[in-house]
Amino acid sequence: MSKGGEVRESLDRRHARVKDYMTAEVDTVSPDDAVGVVAERIVDSDAHSGFPVCDGRRVEGFVSARDLLLSDEHEPIFKVMSRDLIVAHPEMKISDAARVILRSGIQRLPVVDDAGNLVGIISNADVIRSQIERATPEKVGKLKRTLESIHGVGASEERRTVDIRTLTPTQNKVYTDELEGRAYELQNGLAEPLVVIDNVGELLLADGHHRVKAADRLGIDEMDAYVIVLDERVELGMAETARKGNLESIADIEEVDYAHHPLVETIQRLQDGE
């Protein structure tokens, strides 16, 4: 990528819009739906604690579980819904949406167009995901340039889904307690993409060993990744590390209790010496 291209990419990430991260398919309820019916939908759902209330596509309000607590089950939703709505526009900067979500304490903002029609919903999880993804391309670009410089080989970047069973690890251990956090991220759509080097068919995992180990635990076979594709095969130091450590698959990555993390061991040695 040219320097100008890198600048444009950086600007694009800085000015990411709500439309780039919102969920376009939104479950809604009608103003005439009964409280009991909507309450059952919330109880039966793992993902919803409330719904936008729409007459056709036009947003009329929002109803939450709290709105339903003391209401008669036969009452129509339009009598109990909140009409004082905070909404986002698809062209709003993601950073502005983040400020609204943070200051209002609302976890989800309906996204409406200029006519007041619902076009999506943006959540605090979507905002977090946007911040995670903004940092990663810079890391990938730096690694790509390093590989080009050291090995004198051309390289390109791709964003694609990879089968984690085809990846060769380049790190021999992960820490058990960190796997819990990575599992949470995966289950809530917050996981940072992997960084993979495609060395003419050999897929080396450069970054994301805790993520793939957590994904394997959860039975997830495919993950989002930034892939650096080398124009020709070269001898990479990380590939040599994998060979020396007999690392061929995710199963070869050892899980280590956090008590044996080097940082913890260093702190314990310092305490014992006092």
| Portions of the chain given CATH number 3.10.580.10 | 18-127
Q: Which CATH number is associated with domain 18-127?
A: 3.10.580.10
- Show pLDDT as tens, one digit a residue, over the chain (274 residues): 433 343 334 434 456 889 988 988 899 999 999 999 999 998 887 777 789 999 999 999 999 888 898 889 999 999 999 888 889 999 999 888 888 887 777 778 899 999 989 999 998 878 877 777 766 788 899 999 999 999 999 999 999 999 999 999 999 888 887 888 888 889 888 888 999 999 999 999 999 999 999 999 999 999 999 999 999 999 888 888 888 889 999 999 998 875 444 444 444 455 555 5
Length of the chain in residues, anyone? 274
CATH tag for 153-273 (out of 3.30.450.20, 2.60.120.560, 3.40.50.11900, 3.90.1530.10): 3.90.1530.10
Pairwise CA distance, residues 81 & 68, whole Å: 8
Predicted TM-score (pTM) of this structure: 0.59
Pairwise CA distance, residues 237 & 263, whole Å: 25
Pairwise CA distance, residues 225 & 213, whole Å: 15
Pairwise CA distance, residues 230 & 147, whole Å: 9
